[in-house]
Amino acid sequence: MNIYLSIGSNLGDREKNLFEAFKRIKEIGYAKGSHIYESEPWGVKGQGNFLNAAIKLITDIEPIELLDRTNFIELEMGRKNKGDSSPRIIDIDIILMGYIIYMDKRLTVPHKKFRDRNFVIIPLNELGSDEVDPVTGYTISELLERCNDKGMVWETGILLQ
């Protein structure tokens, strides 16, 4: 199954943090990374810019097991305060899992806010422009065209590999 993750960092050596998270995610299954993008913090002020990337992960892992594995990676890398808007060493979000629609108290797939965030959709479009959001029926490229987020996002030229 094609799974799409979004990763971001705005603390410490941001680039190194993304590469370390990517290395650990590759232990879960085949993974391909997008370019790394820089963006202003979304919805908060007074924080440093984020580096963001998307990862296409191919594995048959179940949603909650994937959440547990990505949360463990965040914890091992020093992430604190999961779920708030504080600066973070690493943030790993599950965006899409094929055509799965999954909702419980710990996880919602597709990610409920990804359609409103161009720092997620732009790198995601690089890896899976024709992937379909099972909730809206739109492809990622169509979601990018429809996204109203005007936050600045620019490619760094660095490929996550």
Q: pLDDT tens, 20-49? A: 999 999 999 999 999 999 998 877 777 889
Fill in the amino acid letter for 60: D
User: Which domain CATH number covers 54?
Assistant: 3.30.70.560
Q: Is 93 a catalytic residue?
A: yes
Tokens at 104, concatenated? 């419980």
pTM (whole model) above 0.85: yes
> Which residues constitute the domain of residue 74?
2-159
**Confidence (pLDDT) at 84:** 65
Cα-based distances in Å from 15 to 10, 21, 96, 130, 150: 9, 10, 23, 28, 24
> What is the pLDDT at residue 131?
97
- The pLDDT assigned to 143 comes to 98
In the prediction, which pLDDT does 83 show? 64
**Structure token digits, residue 71:** 């949360």
Q: Which of 13, 24, 84, 93 is catalytic?
A: 93
Catalytic residue among 79, 115, 117, 133: 79
Q: Is 67 helix (H, G, I), strand (E, B) or coil?
A: helix
The reply to whether 79 belongs to the active site is yes
Which segments of the chain have a pLDDT < 70? 81-85
Contact indicator for 90, 73 with CB cutoff of 8 Å: yes
Q: Using the 8-state DSSP alphabet, how is residue 115 labeled?
A: G
Task: Please pick, among 13, 14, 69, 91, the residue that the annotation labels catalytic.
Answer: 91
Out of 88, 115, 117, 133, which one is annotated catalytic? Answer: 88
In sequence order, which residues have a C-beta less than 8 Å from that of residue 138 and are 6 or more positions away?
A: 132, 146
How many structural domains is the chain composed of?
A: 1
